Amino acid sequence: METKDVVNKMSTQEVANRWLEMCNQGQFIECVNELYADNIISKEMPGTPDDHVTGKQNVIEKSNKWLDSVQEFHGGEISEPVIAQNHFTCKMSFDISFKESGRQLMEEVCVFEVNDGKIINEQFFYSI
């Protein structure tokens, strides 16, 4: 008789901590692969490219497109996550040189929703 491993789903705090750890290590695509649900919904500010994307593969493609637009990361910081039941939020700030538009200082608030140990929604708020 085979025994099935019991899969313990991560709590919102555990997902948030792992998300922060992976982002701080520059493991953005690996983070999506590990922590995001297959049917993830990702929202940017309305009117920006890829402002509403659904599905893990589409989020990976959106992330790769953004990463490919970066010439150099000069620095950045991500705040510790704040947890509210099945949501967490962080502030991200970056000093980045883009291939097309040069060096910029960016700040955004990120809000994530977790269900069954996976991120099912993400939304980014920033000035455009």
**24-80, pLDDT tens digit by residue?**
998 999 999 999 999 999 999 999 888 999 999 999 999 999 999 999 999 999 999
**Domain range holding 94?**
12-125
User: Which tokens hold the place of 99?
Assistant: 């291939």
In a domain, 40, yes or no: yes
What is the structure's pLDDT at 8? 74
What is the structure's pLDDT at 7? 55
Q: How far is CA 119 from CA 6, 37, 56, 64, in A?
A: 20, 6, 10, 19
What is the structure's pLDDT at 115? 97
Q: How far is CA 48 from CA 38, 42, 43, 83, 87, in A?
A: 23, 12, 10, 27, 24
Q: Output the domain CATH number for residue 111.
A: 3.10.450.50
In a domain, 64, yes or no: yes
In a domain, 4, yes or no: no
CA dihedral angle for residue 32, residue 36, residue 41, residue 42, rounded to 10 degrees: -30
In a domain, 111, yes or no: yes
Please name the helix (run of DSSP H) or strand (run of DSSP E) that holds residue 43, with its range, or none: strand 36-43
What is the structure's pLDDT at 78? 97
In a domain, 2, yes or no: no
What is the structure's pLDDT at 128? 82
Mean pLDDT across 89-103: 96
> Residue 106 gets which letter from DSSP?
E
User: How large is the C-alpha radius of gyration of the chain?
Assistant: 16
What is the structure's pLDDT at 49? 84
Q: Based on the structure, what is the number of domains in the chain?
A: 1
In a domain, 5, yes or no: no
Give tens-digit pLDDT for 97-117.
Answer: 999 999 999 999 999 999 999
In a domain, 1, yes or no: no
What is the structure's pLDDT at 4? 44
Q: What single letter denotes the amino acid at residue 95?
A: D
In a domain, 29, yes or no: yes
